[in-house]
Amino acid sequence: MTMMASGIRMRRPTAGDGSRVWRLLRTAGGLDVNTPYSYIMLCDLFGDSCVLAEAEGEPVGFVSALRLPERDDTLFVWQVAVHPSARGRGLAKAMLRELLGRRTEIRYVEATISPSNGASQALFRSLARERGCVCRVTAGYAAELFPKGQTHEEEERYRVGPL
């Protein structure tokens, strides 16, 4: 657990946090919100690779990530959510630092980011600068892969490392 100067506490989430995380994602906006069950499961089974940030006991940030089975030195960041009231304070990067601080075997961080998501692009490029490494952008998931009738941009793959 880490405490930021702003009074925000960061910790591993548990199954009991899943519903609160789901509500945070709905409030944060800009992300695909999955079922409450998926967040309960993430917090329970993958809590070691996720971070929950709280201010006065309320969720203000969440990072979900998974270690890639075929590349165990790579952490794939699935979602980064920051409550509107907590934006502009460096919370997203602080949560990534928290996660990397407890996962010292990680040498690469990956994420897929849509071309219109400038905030996430800046976050991962900033992480690369901070760590003195490269941020490579390659093709990720084409828009055609998403279900018909749903508007979804392509996703580019960002790879930061070696850390």
pLDDT digits (tens, 9 = 90+) for 40-58: 999 999 999 999 999 999 9
Residue 58's domain comprises: 1-106
| Statement to judge: residues 88 and 65 lie in one domain | yes
pTM of the model: 0.93
How far apart (Å, rounded) are the C-alpha atoms in residues 67 and 46?
9
Domain end call among 57, 80, 106: 106
How far apart (Å, rounded) are the C-alpha atoms in residues 89 and 24?
17
| Statement to judge: residues 81 and 17 lie in one domain | yes
Q: Is 107 helix (H, G, I), strand (E, B) or coil?
A: coil
| Statement to judge: residues 152 and 76 lie in one domain | no
| Statement to judge: residues 88 and 32 lie in one domain | yes
Q: How many domains does the chain have?
A: 2
Domain end call among 74, 89, 106: 106
% of the chain at pLDDT higher than 90: 87
Whole-Å CA distances, 55 to 52, 64, 72: 10, 18, 32
| Statement to judge: residues 24 and 79 lie in one domain | yes
| Statement to judge: residues 41 and 115 lie in one domain | no
